[in-house]
Amino acid sequence: MAPKIKFMKVKGTWREVADAARTTIRQDEGTGEPSPRWKKRILLAEHSPIRKLSFNWKWLNLPYWVSVHIVRHKYGIEHFVSTQRSDRTGVAREANRQDAPVMHECFANAQAIMFISRRRLCGQASPETRAAWKQVVEAIAEKEPELAECCVPECVYRGFCPEFKPCGFCETKAFKEMLAKYREVPPPARPASQD
């Protein structure tokens, strides 16, 4: 059975992110919603206030070995994985295969999601792990498109591939297009007309 994702909640608001950013530069709280341009710029800069945005999701039927790949990430993320303990499941743990399905729930902030994306969207990540992480990014895109635009593989983030054995994506037209989209910042909002 293919893994499915259940996207649960977004915690924190862009207003809270903006107010925290204002605190760091000794300004009073603002009143308006930050623009898409400001959101993308603070995400690209990875300033600490972006950690006020956090997300909660759960994979159902995730292969155990894919869960192990995800659980290796430990900064800005918490993991809750269903047990394989024999006394809880009634099944001998050693009887489970590495692809036995588990439920894997996560709670992570925006900065952690961008960092994990660099590793798990990489062409050198296992296809199954990459597919599972793409489910997270696609779910986030529905609620926070600016954040999803910043969830890119390491080569796009750095502008080159740091892997010992590159997959070749850096040599493609798709890489150049993804890099341009990643770096693209919306133009400043035009002032409202006075008529």
Q: Which helix (H) or strand (E) element contains residue 51?
A: none
User: pTM, whole model, 2 decimals?
Assistant: 0.90
- For the segment 140-170, what is each residue's pLDDT rounded down to a tens digit? 999 999 999 999 999 999 999 999 999 999 9
Q: Which domains does the chain have, with CATH numbers?
A: 4-27+35-151 (3.30.1360.170)
Residue 187 CA from chain centroid, whole number: 24
Q: Among the listed ranges 8-17, 18-27, 186-195, which one has the minimum average pLDDT value?
A: 186-195
* pLDDT attached to residue 88: 84
pLDDT digits (tens, 9 = 90+) for 42-62: 999 999 999 999 999 999 999
88 sits in which H/E element: helix 86-89
